[in-house]
Structure 1
Amino acid sequence: MSRPGVRLVTWRALRARRRELAALGGWSLVESLPALLSGYLVARAVDEGFLAGRPVNGLAWLGVLAVAVLLGAAATGRTYRSLGAVVEPFRDEVAAQVVRGALRDATRAGGRPDSAAVTRLTHQMEIVRDTFAGLLMVTRGFLFSAGAALLGLLALAPVVAALAAAPLVAGLVVFLAALPAMVTHQRAYVRAGERLGQSAAAALAGHRDVLACGAQTRVTTDVARWVSAQATAERMLARMAAIRSLSLGIGGWLPLLVLMVTAPWLVERGLTAGAVLGALIYVSTGLQPALHTLVQGLGGGGLRYAVTLENILRTYPVSDDKRPSAPAARSPHCRPPTGPAGCSPAVEVRGLTFGYGPRARPILQNFSLTLADRDHLAVVGPSGAGKSTLAALLAGLVPPQAGTVHLAGATVAAVEPAELARMRVLVPQEAYVFTGSLADNLRYLRPDADDHTLEVALDALGARPLATRLGGLGASVAPALLSAGERQLIAAVRAWLAPAPLVVLDEATCHLDPALEATVEAAFARRPGSLVVIAHRISSALRADRVLVLDGDEPVVGTHEQLLIRSATYRVLVGCWDESVPPHVASARQG
């Protein structure tokens, strides 16, 4: 699968907006009228008006030029409107690619947030937008202005056009030959700036550890190294300005010198004084400014655009493969025993080992577990035993040191984040609710759900009173005005609506009262798929088909009754929970 480069991505953006580009070109043509007519009209005004003793005719020619200038000025305003119609959608597309890439990297198995993503989305994204707009303006400005000036010179005298075009081409050749070196130095500058941002962010985030370890000198040296690298790259860019000045001197000023030196010879060949003056106007107000704008634009903004967009595309590539992806070998909704023959268990954990650090004692070691469709597992254990860690491993949010986690036969670590999101839902203790309507919050994981489906979900999970108090599905939700339990209830309804076959509730109902918690867990137990509940009350363990006990030693799995006999940790936990226990539990505890 190939990755489009800067040229291809730019070409796609321009091709997708051909109508807007056509409008930009049309208004640019009108804008270039003064550049096309200025030298010719001045020549007529001099030769047929002022030098001929007819000043009225001369003023009339200049009046025509004034009208052309007014038309060009009016067209300039329209060009910027057309420019925005091309640039802003392109900027939004690239920004969306950065956001998607950053979220994908941060949420994939083993991924981590990238501090440089903020730089790409803010500083670098604005560079791309502004320089892309500038690149379009200077390119179309050179094409139309220089083209109009050359056409005007041809209309005056072909020999004059040839004398002016030769140095112009030479100046362009010098500039284009130096462009690769300019790109190299611009690339070094952008990358040094990004590395400086990463280094500084790491130093600031870990400043307490730096002080505790006495590593101030080392960290300061590392940051200073990237400061020096960025300064060196910036100095090299400044030196490239000399090459730009050379090309401007050859292509912009040398034509004027050539015309002035050859003026006597041109007059001897029949060129009028007005024509010589008109030629000088074409060069000084048309060719020279157009070349100056092009060289400064490409040598400055153009380089920044190419290198910055290259950096973004290298980090968050856009696929060039337009073919649809092959269907997965197994659907994530394939659940035995109700599913087709050959489906794998809903959840299968094999030889899982995980610890926080290479020398830390593993929280889980060589752990295996299998969940079938409609299995309801409660996970219990003392604080720090690894319950939330197991939830994160099952959801693919952290990678194990050894072993694998399979959902519906697919290895979690090998599944793309978008597909993984359709295979499992993890609801944490701190429920997230965003500002918007209640319906929008509930549809977050199932956008196609209609109002009737949402109403059914509210009734199933006992959330109807909350919806009524808020004002119905269309009511606006202000997260800061909701209690922790209300936020948990909304998150639970959202997860219940999701099509994912696995739901993991990581103490996701701890702020609900016991009766409402029972209603929520019962609704999830009736839902197709598998349910894992990180329990915080004995009632959650009693409702589960099986209970997994994590206590820092070897995990134990069994029913409530089995664990009362087999697990001392479970008996202690049951005794510590503050709620009534059935008589057979109390007798087992005493025994």
Structure 2
Amino acid sequence: MRPDTATSDRPAPPANAPAGIRQGLAFLLRRRRVLAGLVGWSAVEAVQTFATGYALARALDAGFLVGRAGTGLSWLGVAAVAVVVGAYGTGRTYGGVAALVEPFRDALVRRVVGRALSDGDGAAVSRLTHQVEIARDAFAGLVMVARSFVFTAAGALVGLFLLAPVLLAVVVPPLVLGLALFLATLRPMARRQEAFLAADEAVAQSLGDVCAGLRDITAGGAERAVRADAGALVDAELRAANALARWSVVRVAALAVAGRFPVVPLLVATPWLLDHGVSAGALVGALAYLTQSLLPALQGLIHGLGASGARLAVVVRRLTAPPAAPPPSPRPDPCPVPATAPAVELRGVTFGYGAHAEPVVRELDLSLAPGTHLAVVGPSGVGKSTLAALIAGLLVPSAGEVSVGGAAARAEDAARRRVLIPQEAYVFSGTLGDNFRYLRADPVPDHEVMAAVEAIGAGALLRRTDGGLDAPVVPGELSAGERQLIALVRAYLSPAPVALLDEAACHLDPAAEARAERAFAARPGGTLVVIAHRAGSARRADRVLVMDGPGTLAGTHRDLPARSALYRDLVGEACATAEGHPRPAARRERPSPVTPSHPSGPLRDADRVDAVAGPGLAGDGGHVIAHRPVGQVQAPGDLADGSALGRE
């Protein structure tokens, strides 16, 4: 257990204290040794405060006013030595302050980063770069001014009491009155400070979203609406800043009352004090305590509490407050879909990359009922990934409508009903369990995660790691296939019923790809759209969409070879024959005593895949994997048995 989290054999803060106070007291109690050192060096620093008034009074009363210049100079020498001692004590206090402030800052950073990773906190940038530094600086300033005021006031009040106890009756009431006036402004200042920080968070989050979606904003012609929304947030922040500034003026007025008024009663009462036995040296010492020690320390305290203290309280409360509990997400569909609503629907959709570009998708109509398994096939560049992006809401059609579960593709309801797994899978540093559970807001028990791992076929990956679900993930050390397996398990565990696999298994061997697709297709109520790069994906699908430039054709794997020459080329002539479609006569009459090794179709780069060699090769184990136009083979580390071409 780390030292900053251990709590055994240590006093606990009161149970009935507010949560923020309990956490603060617990933080300080864990650093009692640091606090003790800080108190000791602050006491050394207070020697200077005590000597400022007492040595001056003694230098006058026992020295200069009675003609003893040597005695007076000796007391002034004592005051000078006390200044050196106090300066040394002040220098030593900075180490103690740092030992409190830096762990405090580190704890806040861990809190913000953890919340951003687990809850997708949109205001994390403002919290991490701005508010944490505000809290750090405010905490450091508050510790310094509070420590300085406590020990300065103690040294000055002890000195006043030793000079003449009656001086306390003259000096203390105005000081208390000034503090009371100032404390009355703290609560309104804190509220205005919190309102300003909330407005700053809203501006930071809005501008982050705008910068990330500039292309979509321009494509959708939403510049005016976005400008109006962002401008309204900036205006709100300006109003909050002005309100904070007005209360700052009130704080300055309170500071003037507390910092300057206490001298007046002392001057007014001087004749009475002299008549009642208070010496001139004691009066000069009291004036020195007020002007050189108490009043500067009081001003520092008021400034620290008014600015740093209010900012610290607000910022820490916002940084440490638990996130709002998300509504429960029943699995697998968090958004009830009308019984008659298609899982995915495109009506007259047209899309092109640019106003004058040839449309990639033209007047496409498509309707998928819940539970449908669709494979999208076609040559490279024909628009298959564009179609997936349209369904995912990443692209906006220039004409037509795209809906998911009855909601517009870019609506929040639609976003919760779909999950897109791209070819380049994203994993992050953390544990395997963190990566698997990333798309689930609710806690996911280990047995559910393990069931998803086995369904997708990632069990071998989990067994190769040291630590199981708690094994650390180093993205750079994973192969492309391993990253895809992690992304597939993550999507499988998500509550979204519609899964879009955009070549999401291209780095896996055919058997692993088939297992993953069957797992997604078997999810209760799940709808699967696969951007296919192997013929097997089309054979497994309920429906197949063949994209061929401006033209598209939908059907099943059994009927499409007779209707589409492109589909016959893509899936291979041998596959068509196996499904009951005869070969051309010339091929049928060719003698074939031994099944030859031949390409399954014309040598072309269909969907970034070269034709796969058919059976008949020596040592063929049914797992030759060729892809991309240069005839690359699957990387050995991505194969299930970890060897090149299955040791063949």
Alignment-derived partner of residue 196 in structure 2: 189
**Residues 447-458 of structure 1 mapped to structure 2, 5 A cutoff:** none
| Equivalent pair of 2:54/2:159 in contact (CA under 8 Å) | yes
Q: Does 1:72 align with 2:94?
A: no
Give the Å deviation of 1:218: 7.0
**Residues 33-112 of structure 1 mapped to structure 2, 5 A cutoff:** 33-35=44-46, 37-38=50-51, 39-49=53-63, 51=65, 53=68, 54-55=71-72, 57-59=74-76, 61-62=78-79, 65-66=82-83, 68-96=85-113, 98-100=115-117, 103=120
| Equivalent pair of 1:154/1:161 in contact (CA under 8 Å) | yes
**Residues 475-486 of structure 1 mapped to structure 2, 5 A cutoff:** 478=476
| Equivalent pair of 1:388/1:534 in contact (CA under 8 Å) | no
| Equivalent pair of 2:193/2:244 in contact (CA under 8 Å) | yes
Letter in 2 for 1:43: A
Inter-partner Cα distance in structure 1 for 2:347 and 2:564: 31
Decide which moves more: 192-201 or 74-83.
192-201
Deviations 1:22-69 (A, max 9, x none): 345434433144435233344344444555622475256336624641
3-state SS in 2 of match to 1:149: helix
Inter-partner Cα distance in structure 2 for 1:59 and 1:130: 37
Q: Sequence identity, in percent? A: 30
Inter-partner Cα distance in structure 1 for 2:338 and 2:530: 17
Inter-partner Cα distance in structure 2 for 1:575 and 1:264: 114
Alignment-derived partner of residue 625 in structure 2: none
Inter-partner Cα distance in structure 2 for 1:165 and 1:358: 83
Inter-partner Cα distance in structure 2 for 1:206 and 1:34: 56
- Residues 79 and 43 (structure 1), Cα distance of their counterparts in 2 relative to 1, 3 Å cut: farther
Inter-partner Cα distance in structure 2 for 1:94 and 1:475: 21
Inter-partner Cα distance in structure 2 for 1:221 and 1:523: 49
Alignment-derived partner of residue 287 in structure 1: 294
Give the Å deviation of 1:564: 0.6
- Residues 366 and 432 (structure 1), Cα distance of their counterparts in 2 relative to 1, 3 Å cut: closer
**Residues 339-354 of structure 1 mapped to structure 2, 5 A cutoff:** 351-354=341-344
Inter-partner Cα distance in structure 2 for 1:11 and 1:510: 52
Inter-partner Cα distance in structure 1 for 2:487 and 2:221: 47
**Residues 467-482 of structure 1 mapped to structure 2, 5 A cutoff:** 478=476
> How many residue pairs end up in the alignment?
502
Inter-partner Cα distance in structure 2 for 1:226 and 1:442: 38
Alignment-derived partner of residue 584 in structure 1: 578
Give the Å deviation of 1:240: 2.8
3-state SS in 2 of match to 1:368: coil
Alignment-derived partner of residue 518 in structure 1: 510
**Residues 264-279 of structure 1 mapped to structure 2, 5 A cutoff:** 264-279=271-286
Inter-partner Cα distance in structure 2 for 1:256 and 1:237: 30
Among 165, 174, 178, the alignment partner of 2:172 is: 165
Among 424, 428, 452, the alignment partner of 2:422 is: 428
| Equivalent pair of 1:445/1:498 in contact (CA under 8 Å) | yes
Among 523, 532, 538, the alignment partner of 1:536 is: 532
- Residues 88 and 589 (structure 1), Cα distance of their counterparts in 2 relative to 1, 3 Å cut: farther
Inter-partner Cα distance in structure 1 for 2:392 and 2:226: 36
Give the Å deviation of 1:429: 0.9
3-state SS in 1 of match to 2:371: strand
- Residues 492 and 312 (structure 1), Cα distance of their counterparts in 2 relative to 1, 3 Å cut: same
As a proportion of its length, which structure holds more helix? 1
Deviations 1:93-134 (A, max 9, x none): 442355146516xxxxxxxxx4x5433332233223322333
- Residues 530 and 183 (structure 1), Cα distance of their counterparts in 2 relative to 1, 3 Å cut: same
Give the Å deviation of 1:286: 2.8
Alignment-derived partner of residue 27 in structure 2: 17
| Equivalent pair of 2:270/2:283 in contact (CA under 8 Å) | yes
3-state SS in 2 of match to 1:564: coil
Inter-partner Cα distance in structure 2 for 1:214 and 1:155: 78
Among 548, 568, 575, the alignment partner of 2:568 is: 575
Q: TM-score, normalised by structure 1?
A: 0.64
Inter-partner Cα distance in structure 2 for 1:533 and 1:221: 38
Inter-partner Cα distance in structure 2 for 1:391 and 1:213: 16
Q: Does 1:122 align with 2:139?
A: no
Q: Does 1:138 align with 2:140?
A: no
- Residues 25 and 254 (structure 1), Cα distance of their counterparts in 2 relative to 1, 3 Å cut: farther
- Residues 26 and 281 (structure 1), Cα distance of their counterparts in 2 relative to 1, 3 Å cut: farther
Decide which moves more: 271-280 or 208-217.
208-217
**Residues 248-327 of structure 1 mapped to structure 2, 5 A cutoff:** 248-309=255-316, 317=323
Inter-partner Cα distance in structure 2 for 1:286 and 1:95: 40
| Equivalent pair of 2:343/2:369 in contact (CA under 8 Å) | yes
Unaligned runs of 5+ in 1: 1-6, 105-113, 320-324, 333-343, 371-376, 404-412, 468-472, 480-485
**Residues 486-497 of structure 1 mapped to structure 2, 5 A cutoff:** 487-494=479-486
Inter-partner Cα distance in structure 1 for 2:113 and 2:142: 22
Letter in 2 for 1:536: A
- Residues 120 and 497 (structure 1), Cα distance of their counterparts in 2 relative to 1, 3 Å cut: closer
| Equivalent pair of 1:381/1:573 in contact (CA under 8 Å) | no
Deviations 1:150-175 (A, max 9, x none): 34333433322232221111112222
Letter in 1 for 2:96: T
**Which structure's CA Rg is the greater one?**
2
| Equivalent pair of 2:425/2:487 in contact (CA under 8 Å) | no
| Equivalent pair of 2:347/2:366 in contact (CA under 8 Å) | no
| Equivalent pair of 2:45/2:85 in contact (CA under 8 Å) | yes
- Residues 167 and 580 (structure 1), Cα distance of their counterparts in 2 relative to 1, 3 Å cut: farther
Deviations 1:216-237 (A, max 9, x none): 7776666555555544443443
Unaligned runs of 5+ in 2: 1-16, 351-362, 395-401, 408-412, 439-445, 466-470, 548-552, 586-648
- Residues 548 and 130 (structure 1), Cα distance of their counterparts in 2 relative to 1, 3 Å cut: farther
3-state SS in 1 of match to 2:558: helix
Inter-partner Cα distance in structure 2 for 1:119 and 1:235: 20
Among 237, 247, 250, the alignment partner of 2:254 is: 247
- Residues 563 and 11 (structure 1), Cα distance of their counterparts in 2 relative to 1, 3 Å cut: same
Deviations 1:426-465 (A, max 9, x none): 74211236689xxx7899549999xxx9xxx99968x99x
Alignment-derived partner of residue 501 in structure 2: 506
Aligned-residue CA RMSD (Å): 5.7
- Residues 478 and 312 (structure 1), Cα distance of their counterparts in 2 relative to 1, 3 Å cut: closer
3-state SS in 2 of match to 1:587: coil
3-state SS in 1 of match to 2:277: coil
Letter in 1 for 2:536: S
Deviations 1:175-195 (A, max 9, x none): 222233333433443344444
